[in-house]
Structure 1
Amino acid sequence: MIISSGGITVTWSWGGKPQAQFELVVERSRDNKRFVQVSPLIDTSVSRFTDLSARDNDQYYYRLRIRNQYGNWSEPSDVKMCKLDR
């Protein structure tokens, strides 16, 4: 993750060529229990999302979820913690 004056940028990479029929969302939590979607659906050709709604001095947990062409959601990715200190 990248922290800047513009928010927190969540980045990811694929273990191979991403499949075009999948999309993903970024989810965020403040307690690592209740996650909410903070991004629109993102095409797999994209590898970053900037969370502009992150507030100063707050700790956040982020994870990804993938949706296939049938509308089914994957299990969430591993969770990563980040604190926005400005």
Structure 2
Amino acid sequence: MGSFSIWHWLIVLLIVVMVFGTKKLKNIGSDLGGAVKGFKDGMKEGSSSDEASANAAPPGQVTNAASADKTTIDVEAKQKS
């Protein structure tokens, strides 16, 4: 009851081909393949930029006192009693 036999899937495939046609299914397949390829390329590109940014400091954080702007004043807030 929970699983379909091969004949059920063949009938579903035949109905899908009859409704959409082989040309449209081929176009859908090539579009899907292009989308997957673009996603993989984007993931590779994103991981390479992540590695480069991992070595850099997070935005807004000063890593070296010498690299800080000369007008920046480092103070410590004290709690009022």
TM-score, normalization by structure 1: 0.14
Q: RCO higher in 1 or 2 (8 Å CA, sep ≥ 6)?
A: 1
Higher helix fraction: Structure 1 or Structure 2? Answer: 2
Higher strand fraction: Structure 1 or Structure 2? Answer: 1
TM-score, normalization by structure 2: 0.14
Which has the higher Rg, Structure 1 or Structure 2?
A: 2
